[in-house]
Amino acid sequence: MNEHMTAAASNVAVKVVGANGQISLGKQFAGRQVLVEEREPGVWIVRTATVIPDNERWLHELQAAADLRSALTWATANAATDKNTPAVMKRLRNDRK
């Protein structure tokens, strides 16, 4: 048996599928999302995953990430003030018309 097979075999655990069709993976996975892939009948691969909602996927694209980094850098270097509030409010009111 090779080294890889030995390592995989050491992580095998027997679980019982309950009457409701569920198994417990342990408290360390509580609340996590997982991908369940059925390779063939009775053979499943379960992997932890981070699922990104469709309407937030653009935030993970390279250009959006670069734009956000640039905006955060600018915001860090330029402290917020109220000095332009009247001009901004006037522009917003005019944009609604």
Give domain limits for the chain. 3-49, 54-96
CB 68 within 8 A of CB 53: no
Is the pLDDT assigned to residue 9 strictly greater than 60?
no
- The DSSP call for residue 82 is S
Q: Which two tokens stand for residue 28?
A: 């360390």
The DSSP code for 1 is: -
String of b and e for 64-78 (b: at least 16 CB within 10 Å)?
A: eeeeeeeeeeeeeee
Tens of pLDDT, residue by residue over 22-54, are 999 999 999 999 999 999 999 999 999 999 999
Mean pLDDT rounded to a whole number for the chain: 87
pTM: 0.48
